[in-house]
Amino acid sequence: MPLPVAEIAKIVASDAYRADYTVINEVFEILTETPGFVGIWHGLTVQEPQYLYVVILWETVEHHRALMEDQVVYPAFNEKMRKVSNGRVWKYHVHFNNDTDKALSAPVTEFALTTAEDSTEVAGHLETADISFPLLYKTLPDEIFESGWGPTVESDRKFMICLGWHSLELTAQMFQLPEVDAMHAKLTKC
């Protein structure tokens, strides 16, 4: 069975969500009735708690598109999301190379977005990830959860990394790359 597609959104958290994150359960109730829905995780970012990550797994990106085209369900979904969010910063769909459930359920989940510059080959980006991830797991077997990386559907030059960590402190020591936009969150699965 193919891996699901992850819809990852960085959004501005509403006051209602920051006061009681269970307000997102109304969104979850709609999604559970939506064909192709697999699961949802959510949580405030550690570095900038005004932002929230919402990760929705879909069987395929077409399932998400079908929800957006539904003239009845999608307006209801958006109404419930307005209780959770005051606006979206960005959203990407990612085909991860591995199952990311463990990373999403880790004490700290890192999302890193990187873009291959026009002067570089995308294949080189992929080769670097193919080499780096096994080395990272081997070097830090007790610190990193099974994780994944992959290109976004929206741009074949943008890549998302999803790493699960035991603690935020180690991530700060390990990665300080200026070309990578990395943020961390403590996610909850609905």
Q: What is the pLDDT of residue 34?
A: 97
Does 143 score more than 90 pLDDT? no
123 and 183 share one domain:
yes
Looking at 74, 94, 114, which one is the last position of a domain?
94
Looking at 41, 71, 94, which one is the last position of a domain?
94
38-67: pLDDT as tens digits: 999 999 998 899 999 999 999 999 999 999
39 and 70 share one domain:
yes
Proportion of the chain above pLDDT 70, given as a percent: 92
61 and 109 share one domain:
no
Q: What is the pLDDT of residue 116?
A: 82
Task: Supply the angle between the helices 73-84 and 25-32 in degrees, to the nearest 10.
Answer: 160
Residue 108: Cβ-neighbour burial (10 angstroms; 0-12, 13-18, 19+): buried
Element (H, E) at 132: helix 122-139
Beta bridge partners of 93: 7
182 and 159 share one domain:
yes
> How many domains is the chain built from?
2
89 and 163 share one domain:
no
Distance CA 52, CA 44 (A): 4
Q: What is the pLDDT of residue 61?
A: 96
Q: Is 22 helix (H, G, I), strand (E, B) or coil?
A: helix
Give pTM, 2 decimals: 0.88
111 and 84 share one domain:
no
Looking at 94, 124, 159, which one is the last position of a domain?
94
Which one, of 181, 182, 188, 10, lies nearest residue 85 by Cα?
10
Which one, of 94, 89, 114, lies nearest residue 10 by Cα?
89
146-170: pLDDT as tens digits: 789 999 999 988 999 999 988 877 6
Q: Which two tokens stand for residue 15?
A: 């006051």
CATH number, domain at 48?
3.30.70.100
46 and 111 share one domain:
no
Q: What is the pLDDT of residue 10?
A: 95
Q: Quick one: average pLDDT of 2-8?
A: 94
Task: State how far the alpha carbon of 65 is from the alpha carbons of 68, 73, 130, 153, 157, in Å.
Answer: 5, 12, 30, 12, 22
Q: Is 98 helix (H, G, I), strand (E, B) or coil?
A: coil
E strands in 95-143: 108-115
Does 178 score more than 80 pLDDT? no
What domain range includes position 87?
A: 5-94
28 and 80 share one domain:
yes
Which one, of 107, 165, 109, lies nearest residue 140 by Cα?
165
10 and 89 share one domain:
yes
Residue type, 173: Q
151 and 81 share one domain:
no
- Per the CB < 8 A criterion, the answer to whether 50 and 31 are in contact is no
10-19: pLDDT as tens digits: 999 999 999 9
26 and 86 share one domain:
yes
10 and 58 share one domain:
yes
pLDDT class for 103, splitting at 50, 70, 90? very high
